Amino acid sequence: MRVRFHGAAGEVTGSCHEVEANGHRVLLDCGMIQGSDEDERRNEDPFPFEVGDIDAVVLSHAHIDHSGRLPLLVRRGYRGPIWTQHATADLLKVMLEDSANLAQMDADRDNRHRRDGKTNHKPLFTQGDVAAVLKQVRGIDYQQPREILGGVTVTLRDAGHILGSASVELAADEPGGRRVLAFSGDIGPRGTPILRDPVPVPGADLVLLESTYGGREHRERQATLDEIRDVLEHAWADRGNVIIPAFAVGRSQELLYWFARQWDEWKMARWKIFLDSPMAMKVVDVYGRHERLFDEDAQAVWKGRPHPFKMPNLHLTAEVAQSQAINNVCGGAIIIAGSGMCNGGRVRHHLRQHLGRKQSHIMFVGYQARGTLGRRLVDGAGSVRIFGEDYQVNAVRHTVGGLSAHAGQTGLMDWYAGIEGRPPVVLVHGEDDAREALARAMEKKLDARVELARPEQTREV
By CB under 5 A, the residues from 399 to 458 that bind Zn ion are: none
Residues 6+ apart with CB under 8 A from 415: 167, 184, 187, 198, 200, 209, 407
CA distance 445 to 182: 21
Residues 6+ apart with CB under 8 A from 195: 158, 160, 161, 162, 163, 165, 188, 293, 294, 295, 298
Minimal distance, residue 40 CB to Zn ion, in Å: 17
Q: How many CA atoms within 13 Å lie on the side-chain side of 405?
A: 24
- Whichever of 201 and 384 has its CB closer to Zn ion, that residue is 201
Minimal distance, residue 212 CB to Zn ion, in Å: 8
**How many residues bind to Zn ion according to rule CB under 5 A?**
2
- 377, 397 Cβ separation under 8 angstroms: yes
Minimal distance, residue 186 CB to Zn ion, in Å: 4
Q: Which of 248, 253, 234, 141 has its CA nearest to residue 194?
A: 253
- Whichever of 250 and 423 has its CB closer to Zn ion, that residue is 250
- 242, 334 Cβ separation under 8 angstroms: yes
Minimal distance, residue 148 CB to Zn ion, in Å: 22
- Whichever of 26 and 249 has its CB closer to Zn ion, that residue is 249
- Whichever of 15 and 224 has its CB closer to Zn ion, that residue is 15
Stretch that binds Zn ion, among 185-193, 229-237, 256-264, 365-373 (CB under 5 A): 185-193
DSSP 273-325: EEEE-HHHHHHHHHHHHTGGGB-HHHHHHHHSSS-TT--TTEEE--SHHHHHH
- Whichever of 154 and 159 has its CB closer to Zn ion, that residue is 159
- Whichever of 211 and 241 has its CB closer to Zn ion, that residue is 211
Minimal distance, residue 247 CB to Zn ion, in Å: 11
Minimal distance, residue 432 CB to Zn ion, in Å: 19
Among 29, 186, 197, 227, binds Zn ion (CB under 5 A): 186
Minimal distance, residue 216 CB to Zn ion, in Å: 17
- Work out the number of other CB atoms within 10 angstroms of the CB of residue 15: 33
Q: What is the largest CA-CA distance in the chain?
A: 71
- Work out the number of other CB atoms within 10 angstroms of the CB of residue 372: 18
Minimal distance, residue 95 CB to Zn ion, in Å: 11
Stretch that binds Zn ion, among 18-26, 93-101, 180-188, 327-335 (CB under 5 A): 180-188
- Whichever of 161 and 282 has its CB closer to Zn ion, that residue is 161
- Whichever of 62 and 301 has its CB closer to Zn ion, that residue is 62
β-sheet with 450-452: strand ranges across: 146-149, 152-158, 166-174, 177-183, 206-210, 425-428, 450-452
By CB under 5 A, the residues from 43 to 102 that bind Zn ion are: 63
Stretch that binds Zn ion, among 168-176, 181-189, 268-276, 316-324 (CB under 5 A): 181-189
DSSP 242-260: EEEE--TTTHHHHHHHHHH
CA distance 88 to 193: 18
- Whichever of 169 and 186 has its CB closer to Zn ion, that residue is 186
Q: Which of 456, 318, 342, 441 has its CA nearest to residue 397?
A: 342
Check binding of 29 to Zn ion (CB under 5 A).
Answer: no
Stretch that binds Zn ion, among 125-133, 178-186, 411-419, 428-436 (CB under 5 A): 178-186
- Whichever of 6 and 361 has its CB closer to Zn ion, that residue is 6
Minimal distance, residue 161 CB to Zn ion, in Å: 6
CA distance 405 to 250: 8
Minimal distance, residue 279 CB to Zn ion, in Å: 16
Stretch that binds Zn ion, among 88-96, 134-142, 186-194, 266-274 (CB under 5 A): 186-194
Q: Are strands 383-386 and 389-392 parallel, antiparallel or unpaired?
A: antiparallel
Residues that bind Zn ion (CB under 5 A): 63, 186
